[in-house]
């Protein structure tokens, strides 16, 4: 063996040792950790400071609220500056929380909501956000909607997503008159007939709406890209529990091992986004809350995988 052959052989062996190790490392990371800014909403930090706190706490991904982004723009900020801030902090905006009433029966109100959502999607696209939540806003009380029509309306906003590059994820709200159960959102997603249809579920809302954690298994893995995590205490009972009762993951009674194993997808990492509206946490230091939420998420994942 000459010197060139020897060096080539060494390089090949080294590469063979390195590449599988890197691949194994990637394979052992089935989840991406994200912070939903509802968690810090009570501290009233504003768009830039919320992002800074998330980055300092160790997050690489976040969910923003559209209203907070728009307040930043009203205060003189620009979409270009917002994108630069996000990039400089090493963050990725995975999703945005908005409340356009795309689902309602009133055609005038629905058309107005579609215009609103289109504008919001364009703003999100400009800062690199690929998703927006689509909850049943405007239909949480009153009559039960025809799910076939809801599917048509969901398809309409998915088609807006085709134009803007921001995909609306149909969100489960457990307290709502409509879309409170997994069977409903699954029906709407499938009957929309659109390949980009996706579902956004939440530990608290699965509990509140009565579907339970086992229902996660009923949803095909391709439909889940991002999942809201939190926990619920034993009391108050399901019928009386509210958004404000959500706590850190692992501090309640959710069956975490089952949840994590049901969500784990060998084909892609799933985004776990911590979302609470806890007034006790809002009264605390924002950075400490953000750090605690990340530590507790990692702990329940490590125990389950």
Q: What is the pLDDT of residue 17?
A: 44
Q: Above 90 in pLDDT, residue 26?
A: no
State the pLDDT confidence band at 12, using cuts at 50, 70 and 90. Answer: very low
Domain ranges of the chain: 31-303
Which of 190, 198, 300, 193 shows the shortest CA–CA distance to 251? 300
Architecture of domain 31-303: Alpha-Beta Barrel (3.20)
In the chain, pLDDT over 90 holds for what percent of residues? 90
Our CA dihedral for 140, 141, 146, 148, rounded to 10 degrees, sits at 0
Higher pLDDT, 200 or 11: 200
**Mean pLDDT estimate for the chain:** 93
Q: What is the mean pLDDT of residues 269-292?
A: 98
Q: How far apart are CA 232 and CA 208, in angstroms?
A: 9
Q: What is the DSSP code string of 151-183? A: HHHHHHHHHHHHHHS-EEEEEP-TTSSSS-SHH
Q: What is the pLDDT of residue 147?
A: 98
Residues 151-168 have pLDDT tens digits of 999 999 999 999 999 999
Q: Are 172 and 180 spatial neighbours (Cβ–Cβ below 8 Å)?
A: yes
Question: Residue 226 forms beta bridges with which residues?
Answer: 271
Q: Above 50 in pLDDT, residue 56?
A: yes
In the 8-state DSSP scheme, what is residue 61? E
Residues 212-256 have pLDDT tens digits of 999 999 998 999 999 999 999 999 999 999 999 999 999 999 999
Q: What is the mean pLDDT of residues 122-138?
A: 98
Q: What is the pLDDT of residue 287?
A: 98
Residues 78-107 have pLDDT tens digits of 999 999 999 999 999 999 999 999 999 999
Which of 12-16, 51-55, 265-269 shows the lowest per-residue confidence on average (mean pLDDT)? 12-16
Its pTM stands at 0.90
Q: What is the pLDDT of residue 305?
A: 85
Which of 290, 259, 269 shows the shortest CA–CA distance to 94? 269
Which of 24-28, 69-73, 198-202 shows the lowest per-residue confidence on average (mean pLDDT)? 24-28
Query: Both tokens of residue 148?
Result: 């076939």
State the pLDDT confidence band at 142, using cuts at 50, 70 and 90. Answer: very high
Q: What is the pLDDT of residue 28?
A: 61
Q: What is the mean pLDDT of residues 3-28?
A: 43
Q: What is the pLDDT of residue 22?
A: 44
Q: What is the pLDDT of residue 23?
A: 42
Q: What is the pLDDT of residue 27?
A: 56
């Amino acid at each position: 063996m000459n010197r060139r052959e020897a060096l080539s052989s060494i390089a090949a062996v080294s590469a063979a040792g390195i590449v599988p190790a890197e691949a194994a490392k990637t394979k052992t990371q089935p989840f991406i950790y994200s912070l939903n800014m509802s968690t810090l909403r009570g501290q009233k930090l504003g768009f830039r400071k919320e992002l800074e706190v998330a980055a300092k706490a160790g997050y690489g991904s976040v969910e923003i609220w559209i209203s907070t982004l728009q307040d930043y723009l009203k205060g003189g900020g620009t979409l270009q500056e917002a994108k630069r801030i996000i990039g400089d902090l090493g963050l990725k905006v995975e999703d945005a929380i908005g409340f356009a009433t795309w689902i309602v029966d009133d055609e005038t109100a629905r058309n107005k909501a579609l215009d609103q959502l289109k504008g919001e999607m364009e703003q999100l696209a400009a800062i690199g956000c690929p998703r927006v939540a689509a909850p049943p806003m405007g239909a949480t009380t009153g009559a039960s909607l025809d799910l076939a029509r809801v599917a048509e309306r969901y398809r309409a906003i998915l088609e807006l997503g085709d134009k803007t590059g921001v995909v609306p994820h149909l969100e489960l709200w457990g307290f709502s008159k409509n879309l409170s159960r997994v069977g409903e959102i699954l029906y709407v997603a499938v009957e929309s007939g659109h390949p980009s249809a996706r579902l956004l579920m939440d530990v608290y809302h699965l509990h509140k709406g009565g579907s339970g954690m086992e229902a996660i298994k009923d949803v095909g893995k391709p439909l889940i890209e991002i999942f809201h995590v939190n926990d619920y205490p034993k009391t108050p009972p399901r019928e009386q529990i509210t958004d404000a009762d959500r706590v850190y993951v692992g501090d309640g009674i959710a069956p975490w091992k089952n949840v994590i194993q049901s969500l784990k997808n060998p084909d892609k990492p799933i985004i776990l986004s911590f979302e609470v509206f806890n007034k006790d946490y809002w009264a605390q230091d924002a950075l400490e809350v953000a750090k605690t939420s990340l530590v507790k998420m990692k702990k329940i994942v490590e125990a389950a995988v």
